Amino acid sequence: MTATWRVLVTEPADGATNMAVDETLWRGRRAGTSPPTIRFFGWAPPTVSLGYGQPLDRHVNVEACRRLGVGLVRRPTGGSAIYHDGPERELTYSVVATTDDLGGARDLLETYRWIGRALVTGLRALGAPVEMVAVAGGGIAPPAFCFARTGSYEIEVDGRKIVGSAQRRRGRCFLQHGSVLLGVDAPRLRELFPTTRDPLATLTTLEATLGHRPKFDDVAAALAQAFEGEHGLRLTPDGLTADETAHAARLVEEKYATAEWLAGPA
């Protein structure tokens, strides 16, 4: 029997709205009121998102964010900071599901691999020679910039990350975020992450890999088709429900747009 999931392709939004929407979907899936959902979205304005437990310190240049009109938000998922440079240069995906929705994938690594298989299939369909690489975690402190760190089941081209992902789980329900680099603004990246020795050394982009920068909508379509083909899903295009929209608006006001949430754990 083919499993039916919802697919959302939403308009670019500010950081607080984007993260509130994803938490709303995550809460809804845990409560059984929202279906398993894959979302593709962009950011307006461009935004640095911090990992759930990541300090907001000198590793992210807050003054440069203000000067350049770059937003700042804290994700509900873990990992390190990512610069989301608008839909011209970056596509963000989120997957909200339970392990049962994935056919019984039990732990974080299995769910990473399940999602990664579809990402690899979709990016290869675009012509990118990506590989999913199982990387053993080290004992040193992780860098502040997501694409400078390595984790399990990275999506790479010639040893350089092209997708950065992070996940958070509650029971059997999880939310995973990922950033697919279409292109990169190298000077801005260096300015925003001043303590990362060379933020470009460990990453690559679809533009660099393919020789042209693919359009956001084309990448979203290729990834959606890959989730269907790789996992036998039927993705149904839909929007947020009225209840989900209202819940996300409350989370923006009460959580994601507040200074307390941005400051992070005490």
Q: Which helix (H) or strand (E) holds 167?
A: strand 160-170
Taking the alpha carbons of 264, 16, 101, 120 in that order, is the dihedral positive or negative? Answer: negative
Phi, psi of 127 (to 5 degrees): 105, 0
According to the model, what pLDDT value does residue 150 have?
52
b/e sequence 120-130, b meaning 16+ C-beta within 10 Å: bbbbeebebeb
Instruction: State the CATH number of the domain containing residue 238.
Output: 3.30.930.10
The residues with which 13 forms a beta bridge, in sequence order, are 43
User: CA nearest 118: which of 7, 245, 213?
Assistant: 7
Domain count, the chain: 1
Contact 151, 135 (CB under 8 A): yes
94/99 Cα distance (integer angstroms): 15
Read off the tokens for 265: 């754990």
Give the number of residues written for the chain. 266
pTM of the model: 0.92
According to the model, what pLDDT value does residue 147 have?
47
138/140 Cα distance (integer angstroms): 6
Q: Which helix (H) or strand (E) holds 135?
A: none
Read off the tokens for 224: 């959606």
According to the model, what pLDDT value does residue 145 have?
46
According to the model, what pLDDT value does residue 69 have?
97
147/181 Cα distance (integer angstroms): 10
Q: What's the Rg (C-alpha) of the chain?
A: 17
Per-residue pLDDT tens, the chain, 266 aa: give them. 689 999 999 999 999 999 999 999 999 999 999 999 999 999 999 999 999 999 998 899 999 999 999 999 999 999 889 999 999 999 999 999 999 999 877 788 889 999 999 999 999 999 999 999 986 554 444 555 454 445 578 899 999 999 999 999 999 999 999 999 999 999 999 999 998 888 888 899 999 999 999 999 999 999 999 999 999 999 999 999 999 999 999 999 999 999 999 998 75
What is the β-pairing status of strands 90-98 and 131-133? unpaired
According to the model, what pLDDT value does residue 106 have?
75
According to the model, what pLDDT value does residue 25 have?
98
Read off the tokens for 39: 């979302």
According to the model, what pLDDT value does residue 136 have?
57
Active site residues: 146
Strand, coil or helix: 157 = strand
What is the β-pairing status of strands 71-74 and 3-9? unpaired
Side-chain half-sphere exposure of 60, counting CA atoms within 13 A = 26
Read off the tokens for 71: 């937003």
Range of the domain at 113: 3-263
Contact 94, 166 (CB under 8 A): no
Residue in the block written with tokens 């770059």? 70
